[in-house]
Amino acid sequence: MKNSENILKNKHFQLLSFLLTSARGCVDEPQIYGPLRLLDAASRVIELMEEEKKITPELLTLKEKINRCIDVLMYDEDEFVKMLDDISKDLGRIIKDNNK
Amino acid sequence: MELMGIIKGRRAVRKFADKEIPRENLVKILEAAIWAPSGSNTQSWEFILVTEKENIEKIKLISPGLFGNPKALVIVCINTERAKKGGREGIEMAKMDIAMASQNMMLMAHSLSIGSCPIVSFNKVALKELLDIPDSIDPKLILIFGYPEKWPRAPGRRPLKEVVHIEKFGEHIEE
């Protein structure tokens, strides 16, 4: 990292910045924003894995679901929770299948 | 577009097309802001317009609620020195005033086919540092603007018969 301009474009730094400001934000923001920020961070982690060529098709599908889930929160909180459960189930399946 | 159409058509837009907003349209949006009402006409507001991509990206870094790809931001601030002219309620009034100014901006934007979204989730301390905002200026809201990739569907509204009370609380309007 040669200068500060470079670090601003670094995806890890961007994630770090997001996590730190989210931590402060979550103190005052609505409770439901906690899961929202975590989902956003999860999506960013998958993007990082994609850039680092450490991705699988299942994770790309998971990222699409995560992003849809974020959109749904604005309209339907119950559906948001259902989608979170669905994402959790997918994650469980990914872990199980990779353990074979 | 008639007024009710503009009011009902406005949406919180976060996904924007890769198309710049002409400067004259941004000026119209800002002009709409300064014609909002304000308590005791204190006009305790300041607006910071940000359009440079590099600067928008820096602000996104410290704003968890600011995702998407807006082409312009307006940071809506309370000038706390001016707000003092409003007495003890000055700051409370200023909050209402900037809310009305913000709505003016979002409606003007929509009338120009520009989408917008108000963002509260940003780190105020970091933003003040980043943009050299003085102590007396309190950033409260970031409005994002851009031409929508698509207009989102409308979330439900609590009906008039639930939220409107006629003459006294609890007597609801017939629809």
Question: Considering the domain boundaries, does residue B174 fall inside one?
Answer: no
Domain span at residue B23?
3-163
How confident is the model at residue A52, as a pLDDT?
A: 92
Question: Considering the domain boundaries, does residue B23 fall inside one?
Answer: yes
- Residue in B64, B152, B153 nearest the CB of A37: B64
Contacts of A17 in chain B (CB under 8 A): 61-62
Cβ B68 vs Cβ B101: under 8 Å: no
pLDDT bucket at A17, cuts 50 / 70 / 90: very high
Q: Tens of pLDDT along A22-79?
A: 999 999 999 999 999 999 999 999 999 999 999 999 999 999 999 999 988 877 889 9
Interface mutation vs chain A, best among B123, B128, B149, most A CBs within 10 Å: B123
Interchain proximity A75–B57, CB inside 8 Å = no
Question: Considering the domain boundaries, does residue B173 fall inside one?
Answer: no
Interchain proximity A24–B65, CB inside 8 Å = no
For the cut 60, the answer to whether the pLDDT of residue A1 exceeds it is: no
Question: Considering the domain boundaries, does residue B168 fall inside one?
Answer: no
Structurally, chain B folds into a number of domains equal to 1
Domain span at residue A25?
4-97
CATH of the domain at B152: 3.40.109.10
How confident is the model at residue A95, as a pLDDT?
A: 85
Cβ A15 vs Cβ A41: under 8 Å: yes
In chain B, which among 53-112 make CB contacts under 8 A with chain A? Answer: 57-58, 61-65, 67
Structurally, chain A folds into a number of domains equal to 1
How confident is the model at residue A64, as a pLDDT?
A: 95
Interface mutation vs chain B, best among A4, A17, A20, most B CBs within 10 Å: A17
- Among residues B104, B95, B94, the alpha carbon closest in space to that of B36 is found at B104
DSSP calls for chain B: --HHHHHHH--B---B-S-PPPHHHHHHHHHHHHTS--GGG---EEEEEE--HHHHHHHHHT-TT--S--SEEEEEEEEHHHHGGGGGGHHHHHHHHHHHHHHHHHHHHHHTT-EEEEE--S-HHHHHHHTT--TTEEEEEEEEEE-BSSPPPPPP---HHHH-BSSSTT-BPP-
For the cut 90, the answer to whether the pLDDT of residue B132 exceeds it is: yes
User: Which residues contact residue A23 at a Cβ distance below 8 angstroms, ignoring those fewer than 6 apart?
Assistant: none
Interchain proximity A40–B63, CB inside 8 Å = no
Cβ A41 vs Cβ A18: under 8 Å: yes
Question: Considering the domain boundaries, does residue B48 fall inside one?
Answer: yes
User: Which residues contact residue B88 at a Cβ distance below 8 angstroms, ignoring those fewer than 6 apart?
Assistant: none
